[in-house]
Amino acid sequence: MSDFKYLFEPRSIAVVGVSDDMGRPGSQAVRTLLKNGYEGKLFPVNPKYEQFEGLKCYRSVAAIEESVDLVVIGVPAKGVLSVLEEAAGKKVPFAVILSGGFRESGPEGIAREQKMLTIAKQAGMRIIGPNCLGFANIHSGVYAAFGSITREPKLKPGSVSLVTQSGGFGYSIALGCAEAGIGFRHVIATGNESDIDTVQLIDALLADRETRIIVAYIEGTRDGRALLDVGRRALAAGKPVLLWKGGVTEQGARAAASHTASMTGSYDFYRAMFKQTGIVEIREIHETVDYVKAFEAEKFPAGNGVAVMGVSGGSAIVFADAGEPEGLNLCDLNAQTQERLAQVVPNIGAIHNPIDLTAGYFSAGNESKLEAAVRATLDDSGVHAVCVNLATTGSAGSLVAADVLSRIVSTTSKPVVVFSSTPASITGAALRVFASAKIPVLSSPARAAKALAMLVKYRRLQSQLKQASYATSRPGGTTQYLSEASGTLSEAESKKILASAGIPVTQDRIVNAVNDKVFKELKAPFVVKIVSPDIPHKTEIGGVKVGMRTRTELEAAVIDVMRNARTRCPNARIEGVLISEMVQGGFELIAGVVNDPVFGPVVVAGAGGIYAELMKDSACRIAPFDEQTALDMLDELRCRPILNGARGKAALDVKAAAKALAALSRFAWENRDRVREVDVNPLFVLPDGVVAADALIIMQDKAGAPAQKQLLAH
């Protein structure tokens, strides 16, 4: 938080735009600062007032005698720039611009925002906003904000920081969490993000000791790579980031365009980013609440084995139903565990998983039995987490469970979560015990299962990240071939480049006529394709022939293909024909690279062939990535089982496919400034190895701006 220290802990704040109208943002900010006991110096600014809320009111920012760490600007848009210039003159390091009337409001606003940035840049001033609700540091009572952030209910201090592009909706997430007893550190509504953006703030919060969990709502980001990077650093640091991406559907993106004019970006790429960073995707307010509760316990399952115990069989079933699709496993309990359980669980109960403690088990006098049962379960090496279903257990029974479980959790590293459906008005005492022991209490067994499953995935990604190598340096790599290339490269050029990048390609030669060399160097059967920069769709004009085995057949095919091209495309420049070894058997994948304006190069892989393509069977990851990530990516394809060898056929070389995709990702990353698009179609996965049978590389326009492009298989 060092860079932003005096933004979030300002020693003095000037608030410009106060007035007797308490609807005005500035007025709200000053009042809230006073009410919440802000301890620094506070300078209201309005030339018309001598005093405001008992404080001396200043004519202008320039008129303030002392130094100012933060200026909060709530004047109408037209007045913002002059205030900013004054603040710049006074070397104020930070401004929060609450006012709207900038980029979001048309050409005049766009120009205003540009000038705003110029002033700030020249002065080295950093800006939150404009067009935002501002921020609050809940721990220090700093409310550089207006609107809902300043209203009841007041958030209680805690370890969650929220960064949101949408003040109204983002603060709804905060209110949902607050209602569930969750406390906050910083709440920052960033609005237009002209200067300081969500990613920079997440980065700053990583360094803030008081922030343990970060929740963010964004509609878009300028720099997907920075998000990827900060997400990975957060995962490595063990500081969970929960991110809600708004505008992920066509209608949602259209609504977002008219909201903050954000570049919403492809949801597919965001989803890849979630998988590659451990940033946890959230899509509901109550889900955020559940996940924050789960993270606050700071315990992570070492695997997916869970045990469920309690007094409600139906709840255990619902837990299992929700957990299985998310990867949880109601594991078998070992013999020793079952023996220990048998000593403390009534005969009519069940000592297998789910463990049926029988009705009324949570009751005074049963503490030591309950403790023994839970400890036995936690001691089982196959159990990585435990869910205790209190279900409708009343106040006394819940308190017994809370006392026992809170004693136990201090002695285990395995997460324990509780399902209770009894209203807080009845179980209040128990809930306080659970809260102080950091035991998450969820309001449905399905939500308990989903929260545990999320923890399992988070922990798994964390250990994967430690193993992953994102090395991107391959000195003397492929760039030499690329240095002179431009436009759309031919199949032969493209394949040569990909081969040098480590992707196996079919052997081929460009010739004008069949010669002995072809027969010596290539193996029949053959494919013949016309080579011309002017014929993009070769098949359609009879420019492709396949399956030739003999010299006679091959010669006829070459003549045929040449004639077809000359007849059907009389003006095309013909450079010869490409004779390739024909690939037989295996399964056709397609692989490609899209150079996305937000995320940079992204590798897409999918099932090839007409049917699979129509079924939109594809997966993507942000480049570069390792083979394990490529394997995960292939696992997402619905056609994946086919690679294991369908109907008695030989298993195909999935590892080689993963290796090729990882190589493609490195190539795409290393050459991201030059390569706009790569299409490998098909990439044959064979029983032993892979081979690209056709490929196309499209270079960036000289301008260098990557063009937007749909996913290959969509």
DSSP state of 12: E
N- to C-terminal Cα separation, the chain: 42
Spell 609-634 as b/e; 16+ CB within 10 A means b.
eeebbeeebbbbbbbbbbbebbbbbb
Rounded-to-integer distance, Cα 12 and Cα 42, Å:
6
Least spacing, CB of residue 322 vs a second copy, in Å:
8
Least spacing, CB of residue 711 vs a second copy, in Å:
16
Least spacing, CB of residue 131 vs a second copy, in Å:
10
Least spacing, CB of residue 543 vs a second copy, in Å:
18
* Distances 391 to 376, 446, 484, 525, 577 between C-alpha atoms, Å: 21, 12, 69, 68, 73
Residue closer to a second copy (CB basis): 235 or 399: 399
Residue closer to a second copy (CB basis): 168 or 585: 168
Write the DSSP string, 225-292.
HHHHHHHHHHHHHT--EEEEE---SHHHHHHHHTTT------HHHHHHHHHHH-PEE---HHHHHHHH
Residue closer to a second copy (CB basis): 211 or 264: 264
3-state secondary structure (DSSP) of residue 194:
coil
Residue closer to a second copy (CB basis): 94 or 171: 171
Residue reference for tokens 């009324």? 360
What is the CB neighbour count within 10 angstroms for residue 238? 14
Tokens of 642: 């086919």
Least spacing, CB of residue 496 vs a second copy, in Å:
30
Rounded-to-integer distance, Cα 160 and Cα 340, Å:
40
Residue closer to a second copy (CB basis): 394 or 542: 394
Q: Which residues contact 298 (CB under 8 A, 6 or more apart)?
A: 212, 438
Could you tell me how many residues make up the chain? 714
Residue closer to a second copy (CB basis): 173 or 554: 173
Identify the sign of the CA torsion 250, 251, 257, 263.
Answer: negative
* Distances 219 to 191, 192, 198, 257, 601 between C-alpha atoms, Å: 11, 11, 10, 9, 21
Cβ atoms of 560 and 675 within 8 Å: the answer is: no
Residue closer to a second copy (CB basis): 79 or 502: 79
Cβ atoms of 370 and 311 within 8 Å: the answer is: no
Residue of 591, 590, 616 lying closest to 601 (CA atoms): 591
Residue closer to a second copy (CB basis): 341 or 489: 341
Least spacing, CB of residue 568 vs a second copy, in Å:
18
Least spacing, CB of residue 154 vs a second copy, in Å:
11
* Helical ranges in 135-193 per DSSP H: 167-179
Rounded-to-integer distance, Cα 432 and Cα 409, Å:
15
Residue closer to a second copy (CB basis): 97 or 120: 97
Residue closer to a second copy (CB basis): 37 or 423: 423
Least spacing, CB of residue 527 vs a second copy, in Å:
20
Residue closer to a second copy (CB basis): 101 or 278: 101
Least spacing, CB of residue 634 vs a second copy, in Å:
14
Q: Which residues contact 448 (CB under 8 A, 6 or more apart)?
A: 319, 387, 417, 418, 419, 440, 442
3-state secondary structure (DSSP) of residue 196:
coil
Residue closer to a second copy (CB basis): 66 or 324: 324
Residue closer to a second copy (CB basis): 377 or 494: 377
Cβ atoms of 669 and 603 within 8 Å: the answer is: no
Least spacing, CB of residue 449 vs a second copy, in Å:
10
3-state secondary structure (DSSP) of residue 627:
helix
Least spacing, CB of residue 662 vs a second copy, in Å:
25
Least spacing, CB of residue 219 vs a second copy, in Å:
7
Least spacing, CB of residue 145 vs a second copy, in Å:
12
Q: How remote is the C-alpha of 300 from its chain's centroid? A: 20
Tokens of 69: 């760490």
Residue closer to a second copy (CB basis): 219 or 679: 219
Cβ atoms of 657 and 628 within 8 Å: the answer is: no
Q: How remote is the C-alpha of 365 from its chain's centroid? A: 48
DSSP state of 488: B
> For strand 94-97 and strand 41-45, is the pairing parallel, antiparallel, or unpaired?
unpaired
Residue closer to a second copy (CB basis): 543 or 706: 543
Residue reference for tokens 């979001």? 104
Rounded-to-integer distance, Cα 595 and Cα 709, Å:
8
Residue closer to a second copy (CB basis): 329 or 412: 329
Rounded-to-integer distance, Cα 385 and Cα 307, Å:
7
Tokens of 452: 């545990």
Least spacing, CB of residue 200 vs a second copy, in Å:
20
Least spacing, CB of residue 416 vs a second copy, in Å:
19
For residue 456, which phi and psi values (nearest 5 degrees)?
Answer: -60, -45
Least spacing, CB of residue 545 vs a second copy, in Å:
20
